[in-house]
Amino acid sequence: MARLTILRFPDPRLHFVAKPVAAVDERMRTLVDDMLETMYDAEGVGLAATQVDVHERVIVMDTSEEHDHPVVLINPELVWKSEEMSVNEEGCLSVPQTYDRVERHARVKVQALNRDGQPFELDAEGLSAVCVQHEMDHLMGKVFVEYLSFLKRDRIKTRMLKKLREEQRAR
Q: Is 47 in the site for ligand GNR (CB under 6 A)?
A: yes
Identified catalytic residue from 26, 37, 66, 135: 135
Cβ–Cβ under 8 Å, residues 93 and 6: yes
The one among 7, 14, 31, 45 contacting ligand GNR by CB under 6 A: 45
Stretch that binds ligand GNR, among 30-38, 41-49, 73-81, 149-157 (CB under 6 A): 41-49
Whether 146 is catalytic: no
What is the x/- site pattern for Ni ion, positions 86-105, by CB under 5 A? ------x-------------
Cα distances from 149 to residues 15, 63, 102, 135, 155, in angstroms, run 18, 28, 11, 20, 10
Q: Is 92 in the site for ligand GNR (CB under 6 A)?
A: yes
Residue spans of alpha helices (H) in 25-149: 26-41, 127-139
Angle at 117 between CA 42 and CA 68, to 5 degrees: 35
Report which of 44, 70, 31, 76 is spatially closest to residue 57, judged by C-alpha positions. Answer: 76
Q: Is 62 in the site for ligand GNR (CB under 6 A)?
A: no
**Alpha carbon distance 44, 6 (integer Å):** 11
Q: Is 46 in the site for ligand GNR (CB under 6 A)?
A: yes
The one among 135, 139, 145, 156 contacting ligand GNR by CB under 6 A: 135
Report which of 19, 111, 124 is spatially closest to residue 134, judged by C-alpha positions. Answer: 124
Q: Is 122 in the site for ligand GNR (CB under 6 A)?
A: no
- The residues binding ligand GNR (CB under 6 A) are 44-48, 51, 90-94, 130-131, 134-135, 138
